[in-house]
Amino acid sequence: MRFPDRSRRGDAAHASAVERLGEAREREDELTTRATAAVGTAAEERTADALCAARDRVAAREAWLVWIERGV
């Protein structure tokens, strides 16, 4: 038995999810660079925290995109 295809690929929600994931990845890349540069400075802890939060956002955006693509 198959469930009906409910995938939202190609619609506005899917496009938005793809765009938001791309933005989250770009932000993560920026913060990775900043965190690396901040090693050994007073900003090290702050940038590491920001990078951790950015990684969490990327994971959440990836999960959301999968949810949309699977049509759950």
- Which distant-in-sequence residues (6+ apart) come within 8 Å of 62 by Cβ? 21
23/8 Cα distance (integer angstroms) = 20
Q: In this structure, is residue 1 part of a structural domain?
A: no
pLDDT exceeds 60 at position 16: yes
pLDDT at 7: 63
pLDDT exceeds 70 at position 55: yes
The total number of structural domains in the chain stands at 1
Whole domain around residue 54: which residue ranges?
A: 12-70
pLDDT exceeds 80 at position 8: no
pLDDT exceeds 60 at position 64: yes
Q: What number of other Cβ atoms are within 10 A of residue 35's Cβ?
A: 20
Q: In this structure, is residue 5 part of a structural domain?
A: no
Q: In this structure, is residue 2 part of a structural domain?
A: no
Q: What number of other Cβ atoms are within 10 A of residue 32's Cβ?
A: 14
Band of residue 72 on the pLDDT scale cut at 50, 70, 90? low
